[in-house]
Amino acid sequence: MKITEVEAIPFAIPYRKPLRFASGEVHAAEHVLVRVHTDDGVIGIAEAPPRPFTYGETQDGVVAVIRKLFAPRVVGLTLMQRETLHSRLSHTVGNPAAKAAIDMAVWDALGRTLDVQVTELLGGYTDRMRVCHMLGFDDPAAMVAETERMREQHGISTFKVKVGRRPVGLDIAVVRALRERFGDDIELYIDGNRGWTASESAAAMAQMADLGLLFAEELCPADDVLGRRWLVSRVGIPFIADESAPTPADVTREVLGGSATAVSIKTARTGFTVSQRVHHLAEGLGLEVVMGNQIDGQLGSICTVAFGAAYPLTSRRAGELSNFLDMSDDLLTEPLTIRDGELTIRSGAGLGVDIDPEKLVRYRQDN
Ligand code: MUC
Ligand code: MG
């Protein structure tokens, strides 16, 4: 079970259509495949999606920090020494996606070594999650059409609408058009990626009061401390901290400070080990949890569902698991499929998925 090598392989797969939101946009999945090898010949896999507009990581930076700093600290540890691994990685600040991918690849390798699913190692509560689809910026008609397609082709009935940093009336028109077209057949919530001020958020929420929103996520920056607290106290529905609360300490600060009442867990930034800490904290604090999406590919999405399915709290709400559908291709030998609005974990050991070597040759950027 000894780790002998950690690979960081940059790859790029174009999106069929870009995903746009208040804090940025994504045209291609320029991610990093992480492979952890052991002396038993086992290889664990995970992917790191760098998000410069959220955490400051870039694809080149993820590759460099893994190759130069993290791999040498991890080689020689066993798959059972995950807390030692975590402590060694934490000597370098930041780099959440790079650290998370190493952590998840280690869990995958452990599952493969023990012939057990990762989701069973984590908690083993259920084998599936309901899926929420994230709708990026477009005009109302196009966003209604995308919702229709997701419902018809994949049975998805929960949608997160990106709002903020464009005319507020346009955002409200989108949410109203969706509610008018689909009625109570869909669940809806909004994510502002910090694009509004607290007062703009409050005004927009007042105009959408009749639209039955489930949650509001990061409508304004958490750094506008008093404004955010004021907003959260009057918003009337759970207010999700996403990019403002990536660590257990951030969750504690934001929630106890009145700046959030729910939390998004993203395995892409907290892996499995730290996501467990966030989960247990959320359970203790009595917070609602949504399994979030960092615009993950299929490998990242299977990590999210492996974690989300492991616990009652994380599998209760639909998880954001479908944006890989916008990619033109992926790396897995067997593509993920969303059926009747659900994504099911794979039955094999570890994460239960494998990389197609030909696809990796086609999309890798370091050969
Ligand atoms: C989200 O929930 O905010 C956009 C930026 C990011 O880091 O994740 C996405 C989705
Ligand atoms: Mg968000």
Please state the rounded mean pLDDT for residues 149-163. 98
Upper half-sphere CA count for residue 208 (Cβ side, 13 Å):
31
323 lines ligand 1 (CB under 6 A): no
* Contact status, residue 333 vs residue 147, Cβ threshold 8 Å: no
CATH architecture assignment, domain 120-344: Alpha-Beta Barrel (3.20)
Q: Given this model, what pLDDT does residue 156 score?
A: 98
Rounded-to-integer distance, Cα 329 and Cα 325, Å: 9
For residue 42, how far is its CA from the centre of ligand 2 (angstroms)? 34
In the residue annotation, 153 being an active-site residue is answered as no
Please state the rounded mean pLDDT for residues 283-305. 98
- Of the pLDDT bands very low, low, confident and very high (cuts 50, 70, 90), residue 234 is very high
Please state the rounded mean pLDDT for residues 52-77. 98
Tokens found for residue 250: 């951030």
pLDDT, tens digit, 9 for 90 and up, residues 243-278:
999 999 999 999 999 999 999 999 999 999 999 999
In the residue annotation, 200 being an active-site residue is answered as no
Across 322-339, b (16+ Cβ under 10 Å) vs e yields bbbbbbebbbbeeebebe
54 lines ligand 1 (CB under 6 A): yes
In the residue annotation, 39 being an active-site residue is answered as no
Residue pointed to by tokens 């951030």: 250
- Which is it for strands 239-241 and 213-217: parallel, antiparallel or unpaired? parallel
* Contact status, residue 129 vs residue 311, Cβ threshold 8 Å: no
Q: Given this model, what pLDDT does residue 367 score?
A: 75
User: Which entry of 99, 162, 218, 342 is annotated as an active-site residue?
Assistant: 162
pLDDT, tens digit, 9 for 90 and up, residues 188-204:
999 999 999 999 999 99
Q: Given this model, what pLDDT does residue 14 score?
A: 98
Please state the rounded mean pLDDT for residues 161-167. 97
pLDDT, tens digit, 9 for 90 and up, residues 16-32:
999 999 999 999 999 99
Please state the rounded mean pLDDT for residues 206-223. 98
103 lines ligand 1 (CB under 6 A): no
Residue pointed to by tokens 């690849």: 105
Compute the mean pLDDT over every residue in the chain, rounded to the nearest whole number.
98
Ligand nearest to the CA of 240: 2
Going from N- to C-terminal start, the domains of the chain cover 3-116+355-363, 120-344
Rounded-to-integer distance, Cα 116 and Cα 238, Å: 36
- Of the pLDDT bands very low, low, confident and very high (cuts 50, 70, 90), residue 13 is very high
Q: 47 Cβ partners below 8 Å, 6+ apart?
A: 31, 32, 33, 34, 101, 296, 297, 299, 300, 331
In the residue annotation, 25 being an active-site residue is answered as no
In the residue annotation, 99 being an active-site residue is answered as no
**3-state SS, residue 217:** strand
Q: Do domains 3-116+355-363 and 120-344 have the same CATH topology?
A: no
Rounded-to-integer distance, Cα 310 and Cα 345, Å: 10
Q: Is the pLDDT of residue 43 over 80?
A: yes
Cβ count within 10 A of residue 120: 17
User: Which entry of 59, 276, 294, 298 is annotated as an active-site residue?
Assistant: 294
Upper half-sphere CA count for residue 143 (Cβ side, 13 Å):
27
Q: Given this model, what pLDDT does residue 23 score?
A: 97
For residue 120, how far is its CA from the centre of ligand 1 (angstroms)? 27
304 lines ligand 1 (CB under 6 A): no
Return the percentage of the chain with pLDDT > 90, whole number. Answer: 100
Mutate to test the pocket of ligand 1, among 26, 243, 269 (most ligand atoms within 8 A of CB): 243
CATH class of the domain comprising 3-116+355-363: alpha beta
pLDDT, tens digit, 9 for 90 and up, residues 106-137:
999 999 999 999 999 999 999 999 999 999 99
Return the percentage of the chain with pLDDT > 70, whole number. Answer: 100
* Contact status, residue 320 vs residue 160, Cβ threshold 8 Å: yes
